Structure 1
Amino acid sequence: MAFWTYMLKCADGHFYVGHSDNLEARVAAHQSGTIGGYTHCRRPVVLVWSEYFSKREEAIAAERQIKGWSRAKKRALIDGDWGLISRLARSRS
């Protein structure tokens, strides 16, 4: 079974990170407001990043890790700038 960790950019510019076993349905639920919580009042949302995992535990671990990142590091992930992600990780330690 496929599992996804994903990042949405909300209408107010904030990022939301989550995981799902059905990425398209989950993004549609955020977009329609079916899912309450953080994104409900920040619509519309745009999917800006996602990654596939073969195990739910891996997707959850990635979600937790990314949620703890700075905005700059999340932006670098969206841009695929692994060098910047590495530099930002070193600067925090």
Structure 2
Amino acid sequence: MARDYNFWVYIVTNEHESVLYVGMTNDLARRISEHRAGEIPGFTADYRCTKLIYYEHCTDVQDAIAREKQLKKWSRSKKVALIASLNPRWKDLAPEILGE
């Protein structure tokens, strides 16, 4: 019996939308909560990346990892175009994920 797995590749930014961070997780709500609370040390905590502006779902971990790596290699302008194609106003998508 095939089992469905859930993985998300996501992009978060800071209040000023001056930086973009690409990540991957198997629990998007938990990960976004961690980013918002500053619980993940490193880049996202240093730059206060708490605003979820893009995410996509994968059912295979290898696909999710490959997509994350692909997006991380993209230029900022290419990432901005991807975000704008689905979220043109860069609305914070966290409330819909967190049920707020």
TM-score normalised per structure 1: 0.81
Q: Measured at CA, do residues 58 and 45 of structure 1 come closer, stay the same or move farther in structure 2, by a change above 3 Å?
A: same
Identity of aligned residues (%): 37
Indicate the residue corresponding to 1:90 in structure 2.
Answer: none
The list of structure 1 runs, each at least 4 consecutive aligned residues, that deviate by more than 4 angstroms after superposition, is none
Which amino acid is 1:57 matched to? Q
Q: Contact 1:16–1:39 (CA<8 Å) still a contact in 2? A: yes
Measure the CA separation in 1 of the matches of 2:42 and 2:84.
27
Count residues with an aligned counterpart: 81
- Residue ranges of structure 1 left out of the alignment (5+ in a row): 82-93
Please give the per-residue CA displacement for 1:44-85, whole angstroms capped at 9, x wherever unaligned.
Answer: 52101000000111111000000011111000000118xxxx
Point out the more displaced range, 39-48 or 63-72. 39-48
Measure the CA separation in 1 of the matches of 2:14 and 2:74.
17
Measure the CA separation in 1 of the matches of 2:84 and 2:64.
20
- Residue ranges of structure 2 left out of the alignment (5+ in a row): 87-100
Once the two structures are superposed, the pairs formed by residues 5-44 of structure 1 within 5 Å of their partners are 5-12=9-16, 13-44=18-49
1:42 Cα shift?
Answer: 1.4
Measure the CA separation in 1 of the matches of 2:49 and 2:25.
19
CA-based RMSD of the aligned residues comes to 1.4
TM-score normalised per structure 2: 0.76
Q: Contact 1:10–1:16 (CA<8 Å) still a contact in 2? A: no
Once the two structures are superposed, the pairs formed by residues 1-93 of structure 1 within 5 Å of their partners are 1-12=5-16, 13-80=18-85
